[in-house]
Amino acid sequence: MEDLSSNDSNSYQDTAHATEGKGSPKLLGAGIAVLLLLLTSLSFVVYKGWPSAEGHLIAHVPYKGQFTGSSLATQSVTAVASILAYWGDTRFTEHDLHHAFPSFEDTGPQHLGFIASFFKEHGYNAEELRIIGVDELTAVIKKDIPVIVYQRLGVDAPAELISERLLIGFSEKDNVLIFHDNDFGNNYEISYEDFALLNERLPSGTAAAMLIVTPGDGITGILEGSDETYEYPERLRIMDSPGIRKITINWREVVYLITRFERTGTPGAGRSVELLNEIIAHESFDELHPAHRMLFAYQLAGFYMGNLGKSEEAIAVLENVVTPLVENYDFNESFGEWKIRHDMYKNPFWKWAPWARLGYLYTRTGDIEKAEAAFQKSLEYWPDNEESLNALAELK
């Protein structure tokens, strides 16, 4: 994900700009790497480690997913961060990990290999294995070793959507495996039956796999060990909201379509627009943090503007959804159970860009008075932005 300690507008890659069309320069830096959002599953229990004949839950594995307000919010990097924290490896900041892993995850065996290479480079043992069944996983968990599991995102998600979640426990009594999952929260339970289904119908040339990471002899002396004061937090209501789960899966598909286009040139803007419209129309949309709502709608406007050439549709989204959120909410504040991501929205870009995009659209449609007003509004949030200043000068 993006470096939140040194954000600037040039550091963001707008998905609409990255796909099949063109929009304004820099402005289309929407930074969807921002999101890969969201959640599922309700339980008001504080989890602690418990070994028994019926299962085992590894104690003190910190959850580093998006629900903590972390600057890390992709599947692989949050799993890596949790493992490092569990072993007490303090060599890496979130800033370091952000730069070590791609914003758009190239999930798959090659990416799992990239994760393994990262650990090996820094003194760990990292063993990649095919997943045959539950027993081989539970045997590792009984040794108090968390395991990164590569498999499908969910039985209710397209087969192309992949997860790299962190296995931390299991219950033979309930026939469930227990994970930390960036998208679906801490202590996220998957039944044995569903787990088997998630290991089937993977993208061509891939197979369900696991990565076992343990400290090598050369680094044991610098590791501080697990934080024994850490207890698993209660699962949040938003982690278990069916509506938010649906929104999460839609968004993950949008990201998949964007990265597929970048790799293969296969168009996906039409389907992405359909998915984003479903998100905005969903009854759970207003449950999201206002910044998340703004980003989804801003991205939709970007597809209309840059990919499909539908200026009126883009203007409608910006006028009716995006700019009201910009004007009525402080994106740096928490909202309900949502914690805001570290320093993300302190960058003026996020409130400047929607108004600047409107300015370009009004210019395109010939409404010069509104274009000038929109660019002037954008300068309220970023007074010395050269893009807006130059656009205003050209309108004179």
Give the CATH number of the domain where residue 103 resides. 3.90.70.10
Question: Is a pLDDT exceeding 70 seen at residue 80?
Answer: yes
pLDDT score at 28: 45
Residues 30 and 67 in one domain: no
Domain count, the chain: 2
pLDDT score at 74: 83
Residues 131 and 109 in one domain: yes
Q: Which has the minimum average pLDDT: 36-40, 134-138, 182-186, 190-194?
A: 36-40
Secondary structure (3-state) at 205 = coil
Question: Is a pLDDT exceeding 50 seen at residue 114?
Answer: yes
Q: Which has the minimum average pLDDT: 29-38, 290-299, 306-315?
A: 29-38
What are the residue ranges of helices labelled H in the chain? 15-18, 75-87, 94-100, 109-121, 134-141, 192-198, 242-264, 269-281, 290-302, 311-317, 323-328, 349-365, 368-381, 386-395
Higher pLDDT, 30 or 290: 290
pLDDT band at 55 (very low <50, low <70, confident <90, very high): very high
Residues 307 and 193 in one domain: no
pLDDT score at 103: 58
pLDDT band at 94 (very low <50, low <70, confident <90, very high): confident
The structure tokens listed for 192 are 């044995």
Residues 191 and 293 in one domain: no
DSSP code per residue over 329-358? --TTS-BTTBPPPTTGGGSTHHHHHHHHHH
Phi, psi of 122 (to 5 degrees): -110, 25
* 2 within some domain: no
Q: Can you tell me the mean pLDDT for 335-358? A: 87
* 4 within some domain: no
Nearest to 153 by CA among 73, 75, 67: 75
Nearest to 153 by CA among 83, 201, 116: 201
Rg (CA), the chain: 22
Residues 247 and 118 in one domain: no
* 1 within some domain: no
- Where residue 363 sits, what CATH number does that domain have? 1.25.40.10
Q: Which of 193, 221, 237 lies at the terminal end of a domain, its last residue?
A: 237
CA distance 363 to 361: 5
Q: Which of 191, 210, 237 lies at the terminal end of a domain, its last residue?
A: 237
Residues 173 and 194 in one domain: yes
Question: Is a pLDDT exceeding 90 seen at residue 232?
Answer: yes
* 42 within some domain: no
Residues 140 and 259 in one domain: no
Whole-number average pLDDT of the chain: 85
Q: Which has the minimum average pLDDT: 117-126, 153-162, 296-305, 336-345?
A: 336-345
Residues 334 and 297 in one domain: yes
* 3 within some domain: no
* 196 within some domain: yes
Output the CA torsion sign for 88, 91, 93, 96: negative
pTM of the full structure: 0.84
Do 201 and 190 meet the contact criterion of CB atoms below 8 Å apart? no
Question: Is a pLDDT exceeding 50 seen at residue 20?
Answer: no
- Angstrom CA distances, 369 to 187, 323, 362, 392, stand at 54, 18, 8, 11
CA distance 27 to 111: 30
Cα angle 23, 345, 292; round to 5? 70
Do 137 and 146 meet the contact criterion of CB atoms below 8 Å apart? no
Higher pLDDT, 202 or 152: 152
* 45 within some domain: no
State how beta strands 162-171 and 147-152 pair: antiparallel
pLDDT score at 198: 95
Q: Can you tell me the mean pLDDT for 315-330? A: 97
Residues 76 and 209 in one domain: yes
Residues 73 and 167 in one domain: yes
Residues 188 and 280 in one domain: no
Q: Which of 217, 237, 257 lies at the terminal end of a domain, its last residue?
A: 237
Question: Is a pLDDT exceeding 80 seen at residue 246?
Answer: yes
* Close Cβ partners of 195 (under 8 Å, ≥ 6 residues apart): 134, 151, 177
pLDDT score at 361: 97
Q: Can you tell me the mean pLDDT for 22-37? A: 42
Residues 387 and 283 in one domain: yes
Nearest to 314 by CA among 369, 362, 366: 362
Q: Can you tell me the mean pLDDT for 17-27? A: 41
* 333 within some domain: yes
What is the residue range of 336's domain?
9-37+241-395
CA distance 73 to 223: 25
